[in-house]
Amino acid sequence: MGNFTATGPQRTFLRNTEVSGIVTLEGARPFTMFVGFDANGDTNPVTDRVGNSARNTYWGDTFKTVDIRVSQHFKIHERQKIEVAVDVFDLFNRPNVNEVTSVYGTYNFCSGAVPVRYKDAASLAIQADPNSFIGSCPAAGPPFPSPIFGAARTMFNPRQFQLSAKYSF
């Protein structure tokens, strides 16, 4: 993450103008791939992992956003001024995934295609046609993976604008 502030030249029409921003770049977050039912018969259906996979072995999407603020103040009297500002959050309107669906839906990985990260080939194949995995998954339990495995479950907010005015005296 980084931030910056720039002030306009005082002898131009940009005097009393300020541009500031925050740039946030984060790596992918890890998720654990779960079966989605009580696969081992311990009466706890929410903790069973797929095959021999360890915890946090599936990686979500990266997070990238730029937030910008442009403000200018105008003097009214010696001690009075008005500041107007425009804020833009997620300037480039990049879709940022918060969480992915990590319920695989069956005991083991099918056809040797082990998904590793958001939108990798294995995840996209499951989402495109989970029925194509019938016969390549374990006989017990569901015959194919969940069609929403690896898909975005929640997203961060899209681009937003904010206008403000502040009167100081």
- Distance between CA 160 and CA 123 in Å, rounded? 30
Assess whether pLDDT exceeds 70 at residue 157. Answer: yes
- Distance between CA 27 and CA 31 in Å, rounded? 13
pTM over 0.85: no
- How confident is the model at residue 20, as a pLDDT? 97
Mean pLDDT value across the chain: 91
What total of structural domains would you count in the chain?
1
- How confident is the model at residue 52, as a pLDDT? 86
User: Within 13 A of 74's CA, how many CA atoms are on the CB side?
Assistant: 7
The residue-averaged pLDDT of 132-141 equals: 69
pLDDT digits (tens, 9 = 90+) for 14-68: 899 999 999 999 999 999 999 988 888 889 888 899 888 999 999 999 999 999 9
| Secondary structure letter of residue 132 according to DSSP | G
User: Within 13 A of 28's CA, how many CA atoms are on the CB side?
Assistant: 13
Residue 58: which of 118, 122, 124 has the closest Cα? 118
The residue-averaged pLDDT of 81-101 equals: 97
Residue in this structure with the two tokens 């194919």, named with its chain if needed: 144
The SS3 assignment for 130 reads helix
Cα separation of the two ends of the chain: 35
CB atoms within 10 A of CB 137: 21
- Distance between CA 6 and CA 37 in Å, rounded? 55
Could you list the residue range(s) of the whole structural domain that residue 12 is in? 2-168
Torsion of CA 39, 45, 51, 56, to 10 degrees: 180
What are the tokens at 23?
């740039």
- Distance between CA 154 and CA 96 in Å, rounded? 9
